[in-house]
Every structure is written in C-alpha cells, then in structure tokens.
Amino acid sequence: MKRRTLIKTAAAAAALATPAVRRTAAQAPTRNETLIVVQEYGPNSMDMQGIGAAQPVNGVSLNCYDTLIRFKRIPFAEGIMTHDLKAYDPALATEWQVASDGMSCTFKLRKDAVFHSKRPVTAKDVKWSMDRAVTIGGFATTQMAAGSLEKPEQFVVVDDNTFRIDFVRRDKLTMPDLAVTIPMIYDSELAIANSNGDPLAKEFLKNNVAGSGAYKVESWKPGSETIYVRNDDWKCGPLPQLKRVITRDIPSPSTRRALIERGDADMSYGLPPKDFKDLAEGGKVRVAAVPVPNAIWYVAMNTVNPPFNDVRLRQAVAWAMPYEKIFNAALFGRGVPMWGGPETVQGTKWPFPFKYKTDMEKAKALASAATGGTTVNTTLIFDAGSATIAEPMAVLVQEALGQIGIKLEISKIPGANFRGELNKKTAPMVINRFGGWLDWPDYFFFWNYHGKNSIFNVSSYQNKEMDALIDGARFTTDETVYDTDVKGFLQMGMDQVPMVSICQPFHDVAMQKYMSGYTYWPCREPDFRFLVKGA
C-alpha cells in the first residue's frame, strides 16, 4: 500500500518533468516576428536621463525614443553593422546646417513625425527635452556637458519645425553627443500633463515611455521581463521587421548559454568570455564580436602615494605583466592585445599597443633601482562585479609581481563600494575597465589622465604638461596641432604608465545564425529597429 503511494508520488514527479507543450501563440505576431532576448538584468527605469538609470535603460531610449540625428550605420562583418561617429543619418531632424561662423546648428524637424500619443513632434518638445537633459543632474547632464551642451539658453525654438542649438564653444564632440541615448525627444505635453507639478516629470517618465520611437513598451516587469511592440506609425526609418520583442532577465550565465544553444532564445547578452569563446568556436550560433571603441582593461597605479609614485616601479610593473597569460586565461582571447607595440607612438589611434611586453630582466632591474632590493607590500583591488575576468587577472598579476619583489594583497570590493573606493583616490593598484562613448583619444585621456582628477583618473595622475596637451587636442580645429598634441599625450601616457594597458575588450553578443542587421552602438544595447529574423 505504502509502496504504491511511493510509486505514485514518483510517477507524479516524473510526469511534471515530461515535455512541456510548446504553445503556438494565438496572437497576431508569430514566433518569426517575435524576438526573444535573454540578458542578465533589464531596465530599472524607462527614462535614460533619470538619475540612477542602469545600463539596459539605454536600450529603452534607443528603441522607444528618437534623437535628432543618428550615427551612420556601416558594415563591420557578416550580419554585423557598426557606426561612424563622424557621419549622421536623419532621425527626427531631416536636415541640419552648421552656421558659417561654426557657432550654431539649425535643425529642420520631420513634419510627419508623431509621438506614441499621435501628437506631432514640434521644436517645443525638442527644447523641453534638451533643457531637461542639461538640468536634470547626474549622468545625463555630465554626458551633455561632454559635448559642450551646458545650459538651456543654448536651445532655441525658431518655429514649430525649426530648432537651433547655439554653441558655447567649438567642440567636435557636440554633434556626436546629439546622437547618443541621452538627448532623446520626449512628448513634453504628455509629460507635463502627468507631472504632478514636477517640471521635469521625473516620476512619470521613469515609469512610462513618452516618445516617438519605433517601439512601445507593452509590459515592463522590473527584474523579470520587458515586452516591446512595434510602433507602426514610426517615421524616422524603415518599418522594423520585428513586431514584438521579449527581453527576459536571466541572472545565471549558464542558463543564458543553454538557452541560446538550445535555440529557445534568439540573442543572448553578457556571457563570460569563456562561453563566448566556446560558442564562437562551436559554430552553432553567431557571436558578434566588436572591439569596444575607446575601451581598455588596465592595471592602474596610484601615482601620488608610495610605492608607485616612482615611475621606475610603474615601468617595472609594465615589463613584468604576464600579458599573454592574462589574455588567454582571464579574457579567453575575447579582445585585442594592447601590448608589445613600437617604442614611439605611430599615429593618433587609441587604444594602441603599448611598447611593454613580458621581460622579467628589465622589470627586475627597474624594480631594484626603485626599491633598492627591499620587498614592497601593497594592495590590488578590483570590482567584485567583474570578478569573472578581474579575479584570474589579479592572481596572475600577483604571481608575476611577486618575482620582482612586489608582494600584492588582493582585495575584491563589492560593486556598491567600488566607486566609493575609487573616489577615495588611495588604492595603490586597481584592475578596471574604462570605455568612453565618444571614440576620441582626447576624450579618454580627459577622463583618465587629466589633472581635474575625475573618478576615472584611478591613478590620480597629475601632470601640467599632460593637461596642456589634452586640453589643446580637445578644442583645437587645426589638424596638425591635434596630431602633435594627441601623439604627445599618448607617448607620455605610455612612458609614465599611470595605467598599464592590457587589452581592448570585445563586445560580444551571441545570436542565432538566422539573425541579421545587428548594429553595434556606443551604448552597446541591442537595437531592434534594424534586426531581421530570418527563417
């Protein structure tokens, strides 16, 4: 009797685990017109300008809103497109003209463009949105300022369909800064009507999309799923093929890999490099690997405090670094090597391979010259959030530096504390990754090497000469001056090595072979507008 119940229970358990019915969706969009994306975590807001918006919110901005202009898409590899930061496609603006004095730009707005609320897009909406971006504070305002877009007086409504931006200075980053995911255009009437007295409608826009973009958000369950549906009235480009996009938050990378390999997901974001390597070699799915422009993995050293205030010790570290091992064992080859280059800087391209390679003899000589042969005890920190790559890297660095008399203690800092730790500016050695949206070397160096000492100047590097070169390159309009300045600070960065460059990472996305039209944007989020799902 009891045995029978036992068997019954077991049978019931087995029945539960038997194949699930694959449901054929009864609704209009078929599986072929529906995209399924799996990612680690989804948006925590619908408003990219809002304070605390996480990385995936860029995707909402990209797909549900429009900007005045878009970066031009250019082919990169089979089924993969990337973008040109210096050429633009019309979006909400159909044409634009920089004034002859170079101090303003006038935009003609698309006449038939309408918001999701069916209201036409006007210059008033553009002004409201730009004003909001430069006054809301936090990341949005900082990003706008990076393109010399600083105050509401710069934004002028000429008439309903004409909008002008007055420049505070000539800055080559102004135009590209208008095509990123921050200066998107909101439906200002809808936002104000629901603002409850807040002139920026922060609460409403955090929870609702008020844009004109190619997709609307059908449902948003933070932490589990976001569903987008196509906006058939979209005017800023060809009608997208995908009618419905389901993005699911799957925290475990192993599960995300299983889903793409089994064919239950069309795209999988954010796997560990080892998995991307396996998938790329396996050949069953396509791995779109684009080297992240303007980004490197680096080991930075604090140049203000001992022991690394001595340039010889920093150079010793650069010569002792086990580059190959790190590249193979921590990054699994998912990147472009940034070591072993020529002695002098050749061009203005950044990142470029530094002159250092693993040479223990050189390293030992420099280290003993700096320390007089005594052992140096110091600490290496990294963000626990990037432990998949940074942890094996740290162990390899520790092992290598042990051989030149630098004893490292490794400290893994939880995500919430890591920025705080960087802000203190005291960590002797840091493994980190930096990428700037706007791919200019002066932009990268401004954040990472300038005496203004931003949080990203992890080594607290201070050098008036360096500052002068960076500032020179940022605002000059003269090509030759730009060239000399850039080469100057690149060489100085390499010789002084406040940070040792290791590699330029790939941005990897795994997708089924039937997918095409994938576009890599500075924000790195998937763009559903140009994606095509084949049979």
Residue 149 is a binding residue for another protein (CB under 8 A):
no
Number of chain positions touching another protein (CB under 8 A): 69
Q: Which of 55, 24, 41 is nearest to 226 (CA)?
A: 41
Residue with tokens 């706008």: 144
Residue 223 is a binding residue for another protein (CB under 8 A):
yes
Of the two residues 76 and 456, which places its CB atom closer to another protein in the complex?
456
Residue 199 is a binding residue for another protein (CB under 8 A):
no
Q: Segment 444-483, which members bind another protein (CB under 8 A)?
A: 447, 454-456
The token pair that represents 532 in the structure block: 């095509």
CA distance 243 to 264: 18
From candidates 32, 142, 374, 426, binder to another protein by CB under 8 A: 142
CA distance 523 to 56: 9
Residue 248 is a binding residue for another protein (CB under 8 A):
yes
Residue 259 is a binding residue for another protein (CB under 8 A):
yes
The token pair that represents 327 in the structure block: 């590249």
Question: Smallest distance from the beta carbon of 227 to another protein, in angstroms?
Answer: 9
- Choose the binding region for another protein from 59-67, 141-149, 290-298, 463-471 (rule: CB under 8 A): 141-149
Residue 196 is a binding residue for another protein (CB under 8 A):
no
Q: Are 505 and 297 in contact (CB under 8 A)?
A: yes
Question: Smallest distance from the beta carbon of 8 to another protein, in angstroms?
Answer: 9
Question: Smallest distance from the beta carbon of 169 to another protein, in angstroms?
Answer: 20
Question: Smallest distance from the beta carbon of 33 to another protein, in angstroms?
Answer: 12
The token pair that represents 95 in the structure block: 């044409």
CA distance 429 to 513: 42
Residue 440 is a binding residue for another protein (CB under 8 A):
no
Q: Containing H/E element for 479? A: helix 479-496
From candidates 124, 221, 349, 513, binder to another protein by CB under 8 A: 221
Site string for another protein, 341-380 (x = CB under 8 A): ----------------------------------------
- Look at strands 429-435 and 215-221 and give their pairing: unpaired
The token pair that represents 45 in the structure block: 């807001």
CA distance 184 to 97: 20
Q: Segment 54-113, which members bind another protein (CB under 8 A)?
A: 54
Distance from the first to the final alpha carbon of the chain:
54
Indicate the residue type of 386.
Answer: S
CA distance 300 to 498: 6
Q: Are 89 and 69 in contact (CB under 8 A)?
A: yes
Binding site for another protein (CB under 8 A): 1-2, 5-6, 9-10, 13, 16-25, 31, 34, 36, 38, 41, 44-45, 51-54, 137-139, 141-143, 146, 206-207, 221-225, 246, 248-252, 254-255, 258-259, 261-262, 264-265, 384-385, 414-417, 419-420, 423, 447, 454-456
